[in-house]
Amino acid sequence: MATIFDKIIAREIPADIVFEDENVLAFRDIHPQAPVHVLFIPKRAVPTLNDLGEGDEAVVGRLAVAAAAYAKREGFADDGYRVVMNCNRDGGQTVFHIHLHLLAGRPMAWPPG
Ligand code: DGP
């Protein structure tokens, strides 16, 4: 089922896009939870982490590699950052197209809420 993120990929709705390559799109979260809050999504729609299987390792791997490259490029990699992927109800997932949250620009608390 198509989600709002498919519409962002197709440029049917606007987003503040900060990175794009053949497989990955990254854009600023509409409800930022930190001074830096960017979502890294695969262009291939996968609803949840539960829908990944053998052979899909690169789908998530590319998101992590793109997020780390972005952190280095933007100069906060050494200070640090957090990446989060929410899955289903208890994980707090609201958009069913897998995405990696990159949060930075302030110290993060642990445990998360
Ligand atoms: P999650 O709860 O992990 O499914 O996170 C979904 C995130 O997506 C949430 O932090 C808000 C963000 N979001 C939802 N709709 C839009 C949108 O239309 N544009 C942008 N930029 N972000 C969105």
How many structural domains does the chain have?
1
Closest CA to 38 of 83, 102, 107: 102
Q: Is 99 a catalytic residue?
A: yes
Return the best residue to mutate from 6, 28, 94, 98 for the ligand 1 pocket (most ligand atoms within 8 A of CB).
94
17-47 pLDDT per residue, tens: 999 999 999 999 999 999 999 999 999 999 9
55-86 pLDDT per residue, tens: 999 999 999 999 999 999 999 999 999 999 99
CATH code at position 54: 3.30.428.10
Count of residues making up the chain: 113
The SS3 assignment for 74 reads helix
Is 109 within a domain? no
Is 69 within a domain? yes
Is 111 within a domain? no
Is 45 within a domain? yes
Give the residue, by CA position, lying nearest to ligand 1 atom 18. Answer: 4
**What is the domain extent for residue 25?**
4-104
With a threshold of 0.85, does the pTM exceed it? Answer: yes
Is 81 within a domain? yes
Which residue blocks in 1-103 are alpha helix, DSSP H?
Answer: 4-9, 57-74, 88-91
Is 112 within a domain? no
Closest CA to 16 of 35, 37, 2: 37
Is 46 within a domain? yes
Phi then psi for 14, rounded to 5 degrees? -75, 155
